[in-house]
Chain A
Amino acid sequence: MYAQALDQPEGHRECASADGAALEARFLSRVASEQKVEPKDWMPERYRRTLIRQISQHAHSEIVGMLPEGNWITRAPSLKRKAILMAKVQDEGGHGAYLYAAAETLGAAREDLIEQLLSGAAKYSSIFNYPTPTWADVGAIGWLVDGAAIMNQIPLCRCSYGPYARAMVRICKEESFHQRQGFEIMLTLARGTPEQRRMAQEALNRWWWPSLMMFGPGDADSKHTADSVRWKIKRFTNDELRQKFVDFTVPQAQFLGLKVPDPELRLDEASGHYRFGAIDWAEFNEVLRGNGPCNRERLAARREAHESGRWVREAAAAYAEKQRARTSAAAA
């Protein structure tokens, strides 16, 4: 996951000099002809800041995203499911690490980015502020949340910034397992007892709308898509990706024999697209503002993990320093 379109617009600054304008013009023409931008290449300051913000929010989302599922590792219904879930959650941690590394190539320090997450200054995907009360939620997350993430992430593999694009290629290769294991959990429950089918349906009811919100505000309200499109960071609009997700997912729900919780959902025969009801953007904005069901719990868990690991980081640094001192003393 999870580059949700939640970054805020920034004031545009004009290029200070004619020199800057020439560099920017050259940059834009290179990007327009699909040449990749690499870390040491000249780039507009706004491009750099937009990317640092987007990549770090994406990284934070991967890291916070470990929590709702991590909640079920000790309670997975079998050893097989437990091993799979651990591998998936570990992948998400890995995705966070790839992305922090990509952000660092732009001059950001990982420690600063993590500090922004822990202080609450940085945003992460709204979806991870919802609870996982049953095992079926783990299935729904893999199927829907990772599914929506894949929709978002595949176009990012062609993003103009090389290190981000390469991180996304790696991530996309791993996401497919996440989605399939989630669907398989849902399938097992859907073919199980009436009680298990009910669990699966309730999990779908909980995750359907938040999953649609993952694509960010509708195009009419999406403020700063223009720059991202021109810079080839974004290739499809939020609404286009959301529609694609709905079109892919509804038949899967039908296969499971589950009902998508949207009374207005219908197939538009002419266009071949599913038309769906209005999204509750007030809820989305509340969650982004920090008032979702689990925002406080998620940040508290991250802070606690960070504090609990502090002695390890300090000990490792002290050990490395001691080794270094020994080596240089021996060489002297």
Chain B
Amino acid sequence: MSDPRSPLWEVFVRPRSGLEHKHAGSVHATDARMALEHARDLYTRRGEGVSLWVVRSSDIVASDPAEADELFEPARDKIYRHPTFYEIPEEVKTL
């Protein structure tokens, strides 16, 4: 007899307050509360977090790596967005 398939959830952990949540991995769980509990047991056994997010994996909308070139192309030629683009005389300090 085959098992019921449980949905997959992506887990995000905030390591300590002041830092953002970061993707840690995924867990299987039948509902959100179980997903949080599994995430705690799996990804914070050594105090790795002070806050957890869980999101149904199927709810994540991701960009297509095959289209990455086109998608990120607009940023490629705008080097003037970087401070190093500008030439400032050496005598000018704290700029």
Contacts and interface: CB of A to CB of B under 8 A. Distances in A.
B65 A38 contact: yes
B31 A320 contact: yes
B34 A310 contact: no
A316 B27 CA distance: 15
Interface in B1-48: 1-6, 8, 25-28, 30-31, 34, 41-42, 45-46
A101 B25 contact: yes
B66 interface: yes
Contacts, number: 50
A87 B45 CA distance: 9
Interface stretch (A104-112, A138-146, A292-300): A104-112
The contact size tier of chain A is 20 to 34
Interface in A274-332: 310, 313-314, 316-317, 319-320, 323
B27 A97 contact: yes
A314 B28 contact: no
The contact size tier of chain B is 20 to 34
A174 B42 CA distance: 12
A134 interface: no
B65 A90 contact: no
Contact of A98 (B6, B25, B41): B25
A307 B29 CA distance: 18
B70 interface: no
A110 B28 contact: yes
Contact of B65 (A41, A166, A317): A41
A320 B64 contact: no
A316 B28 CA distance: 12
A317 B62 contact: no
- Per DSSP, are chain A's interface residues mostly helix, strand or loop, or mixed? helix
A167 B25 CA distance: 8
Nearest to B38: A97
- Per DSSP, are chain B's interface residues mostly helix, strand or loop, or mixed? loop
A317 B3 CA distance: 10
A316 B30 contact: yes
Interface in A17-76: 38, 40-42
A69 B19 CA distance: 38
Given A91-B45, A94-B45, A101 B6 contact: no
A305 B79 CA distance: 59
Interface in A167-182: 167, 170, 174
A101 B26 contact: yes
A310 B4 CA distance: 9
Contacts of A167: 25
Nearest to B8: A104
Interface in B39-73: 41-42, 45-46, 62, 64-66
Given A40-B64, A167-B25, A111 B2 contact: yes
A313 B46 CA distance: 27
Given A90-B45, A94-B45, A98-B25, A319 B30 contact: yes
A42 B66 CA distance: 8
A97 B3 contact: no
Interface in A120-148: none
B49 to A, nearest CB: 13
Nearest to B1: A310
Given A41-B65, A97-B42, 13 more contacts: A42-B65, A90-B45, A101-B25, A101-B26, A101-B27, A110-B28, A111-B5, A167-B25, A313-B4, A316-B6, A316-B34, A319-B30, A320-B30
20 contacts: A41-B65, A42-B66, A91-B45, A97-B42, A98-B25, A101-B25, A101-B27, A104-B8, A111-B5, A115-B2, A167-B25, A313-B3, A313-B4, A313-B6, A316-B6, A316-B30, A316-B31, A316-B34, A320-B31, A323-B31
